[in-house]
Chain A
Amino acid sequence: MVAIDAAAGYVPLYRIARSEIAAQHGGSGRGESAVPSRDENHITMASEATTAALERSAVDADDIGAVFAASVSDYFAEHGVAAQLAYRLGAPTDSRTGDFRGTARAAADALETARQYVRATEKPVVVAAADIMPVEPGGDDEETMGAGAGALVLRPRSDDPAATIDSVGQATTGFLERHREHGQSAEQGDPRFERRHGVQPAVTTALERTETDADPEYAVASAPGYRFVQTALQSIDAERLSTFNDVGYAGTATLLLDIAHALESTDPGDSLVAIAYGQGGADAFRLTVTDATDERPGLSVSDQIETKEYVPYMKHVNSRERYEYQGVPNT
């Protein structure tokens, strides 16, 4: 059984009240979404989460066997996130790195690959996800697109883990509807059709394959839309823990951020299911919370949600685009 030795999340300081967006373009206006600072990017946000997770872990950087990173909004087609995180953490140069992209399910792919890597090598693995979701002014999903990062440290066994991963189920159905080009906001397609023929069957099958019938006490779910999440969790009788109304949908980061948030919010012995739905299918991870300590280094996800500053509408739009420092000396 693989243990989650430590977990941490990162939520940017800035927020846009969804009512600000509704005032511009209409909409529900409930809740708020995280907005990155102009000097934040995928590497800096993922570094915040991975550094905090490793500080909370008993794992030494010298012992890291692999670093896996997920993102669906990294600006670069080629550059990589995982290798930069590995170097910053001080992981050995013979550690394996892997970047997972191209589907909202990428963080689940990274997490499951990390779990299998730990089982195969008995070495600790750091898995991270970071996203800054692009928006189009007036777009359907503008209100709920957020930003953030999450990270977990996995190891084969741990004296004082945050949780254990008891079982995993996956359903690779190949269903595709919602899609997005680089730097663009998403083409939603027909969300009702996707909920019925994409989300519901994939999540149901993934849950069945965890081979546990009992309902967990808590559930988190990552999917590119609030109603997708509702559909994903409709068959589970559990208390839902979510950062959606405070952070928004933070792409692949939502899965790891919500797991970190859940592990900080629950008690030892509690059971948790974490679901990820994205292009191609769904995954379900059943966890048991095992860590009793409240004294973790760094700010909790809840603390970061509470410490915030609101920004005006234009900063929310501009901060999600890659910035060019024209005219600034660059040496």
Chain B
Amino acid sequence: MSGPRYHRTRRQDQRLVGFECQACGFVSFPDEKRICKRCGDAPAEFRDVDLASSGTIKTFVIQEYLPDDIEVPQPLAIIDVPQADGSGEPTRVYGLLTETELDEISVGCTVDVRFRELFDEGARPINSVKFSVPREDKR
């Protein structure tokens, strides 16, 4: 039964949405928490904020040993993504990279948000957010 999975996360599967603490400005991702984990405000008041379409790699690992049905090497990165309108603080996102060769990434490099198939639920694909080096850098 994949309907609840589709329905529950469909908004955040389309684009990156963060939750900004109205007490201290910390942006929670991916969940809206009851308590701000930076300032401890409880119950915290959060505001939905759209996140930008690109971010900066803070660190990454290369996964070499995964089940047969996942392409390896598979880069996995922690990425700082600013808010779409340029205001407030960036948030930290944990994301898979696609169409990215190992020699194309380094700490501090820019990656773009991509809408890709993350995995499937039964026969149905779950499309969500991944990252890649900008296509124009492939020239």
Is A196 in contact with chain B by the CB < 8 A criterion? no
Is A317 in contact with chain B by the CB < 8 A criterion? no
Which residues of chain B have C-beta atoms less than 8 A from A14's C-beta?
A: 99
CA distance A88 to B15 in the complex (A): 9
CB of A299 within 8 A of CB of B136, answer yes
Which residues of chain A have C-beta atoms less than 8 A from B122's C-beta?
A: 330
Q: B133 CB to closest chain A CB, in angstroms?
A: 11
Is B41 in contact with chain A by the CB < 8 A criterion? no
Is A325 in contact with chain B by the CB < 8 A criterion? yes
CB of A309 within 8 A of CB of B138, answer yes
CA distance A325 to B138 in the complex (A): 28
From B68, B130, B139, A39 is in contact (CB under 8 Å) with B130
Size band of the interface chain B makes with A: 20 to 34
CB of A308 within 8 A of CB of B69, answer no
From B116, B120, B136, A44 is in contact (CB under 8 Å) with B116
- Please, what's the 1-or-0 string for B97-131, where 1 marks a CB less than 8 Å from any CB in chain A? 01100000000000000011111111111110010
Size band of the interface chain A makes with B: 20 to 34
Is A307 in contact with chain B by the CB < 8 A criterion? yes
- Please, what's the 1-or-0 string for B16-48, where 1 marks a CB less than 8 Å from any CB in chain A? 000000000000000000000000000000000
Q: A78 CB to closest chain B CB, in angstroms?
A: 11
CA distance A87 to B123 in the complex (A): 21
CA distance A162 to B15 in the complex (A): 27
- With A307-B136, A325-B69, A327-B69 in contact, is A44–B99 under 8 Å at CB? no
Instruction: Name the residue of chain A whose CB is nearest to the CB of B139.
Output: A307
CB of B10 within 8 A of CB of A87, answer yes
Which residues of chain A have C-beta atoms less than 8 A from B63's C-beta?
A: none
CB of B69 within 8 A of CB of A48, answer no
Is A328 in contact with chain B by the CB < 8 A criterion? yes
CA distance A329 to B69 in the complex (A): 12
- Please, what's the 1-or-0 string for A12-25, where 1 marks a CB less than 8 Å from any CB in chain B? 01100000000000
CB of A79 within 8 A of CB of B98, answer no
CB of B70 within 8 A of CB of A328, answer yes
Is B14 in contact with chain A by the CB < 8 A criterion? yes
Is B67 in contact with chain A by the CB < 8 A criterion? yes
Is B89 in contact with chain A by the CB < 8 A criterion? no
- Please, what's the 1-or-0 string for A78-90, where 1 marks a CB less than 8 Å from any CB in chain B? 0100000001100
CB of B117 within 8 A of CB of A303, answer no
CB of A326 within 8 A of CB of B69, answer yes
CB of B124 within 8 A of CB of A307, answer no
Is A43 in contact with chain B by the CB < 8 A criterion? yes
CB of B69 within 8 A of CB of A87, answer no
Q: Which residues from 73 to 109 on chain B have a C-beta closer than 8 Å to any C-beta of chain A? A: 98-99
CA distance A13 to B114 in the complex (A): 13
Is B64 in contact with chain A by the CB < 8 A criterion? no
CB of B5 within 8 A of CB of A331, answer yes
Is A193 in contact with chain B by the CB < 8 A criterion? no
CB of B136 within 8 A of CB of A43, answer no
Instruction: Name the residue of chain B whose CB is nearest to the CB of A304.
Output: B135
CB of A306 within 8 A of CB of B116, answer no
Which residues of chain A have C-beta atoms less than 8 A from B14's C-beta?
A: 87-88
Is A324 in contact with chain B by the CB < 8 A criterion? yes
From A40, A48, A328, B67 is in contact (CB under 8 Å) with A328
Is A210 in contact with chain B by the CB < 8 A criterion? no
- Please, what's the 1-or-0 string for A85-101, where 1 marks a CB less than 8 Å from any CB in chain B? 00110000000000000
- Please, what's the 1-or-0 string for B54-76, where 1 marks a CB less than 8 Å from any CB in chain A? 00000000000001111100000
CB of B127 within 8 A of CB of A325, answer no
Instruction: Name the residue of chain A whose CB is nearest to the CB of B66.
Output: A328
Is A192 in contact with chain B by the CB < 8 A criterion? no
- With A37-B99, A309-B138 in contact, is A328–B115 under 8 Å at CB? no
From B5, B98, B139, A306 is in contact (CB under 8 Å) with B139
- With A13-B99, A326-B69 in contact, is A308–B117 under 8 Å at CB? no
**Contact sample, A vs B, 9 pairs, CB 8 Å cutoff:** A41-B117, A44-B116, A47-B115, A323-B117, A325-B120, A327-B68, A327-B69, A328-B67, A330-B119
Q: Which residues of A contact B (CB under 8 A)?
A: 13-14, 37-41, 43-44, 47-48, 79, 87-88, 299, 303-304, 306-309, 322-331
Extra contacts besides A307-B138, A309-B99 (15): CB < 8 Å: A13-B99, A13-B135, A14-B99, A37-B98, A39-B117, A40-B116, A43-B125, A48-B115, A87-B14, A324-B69, A325-B70, A325-B119, A325-B120, A330-B5, A330-B119
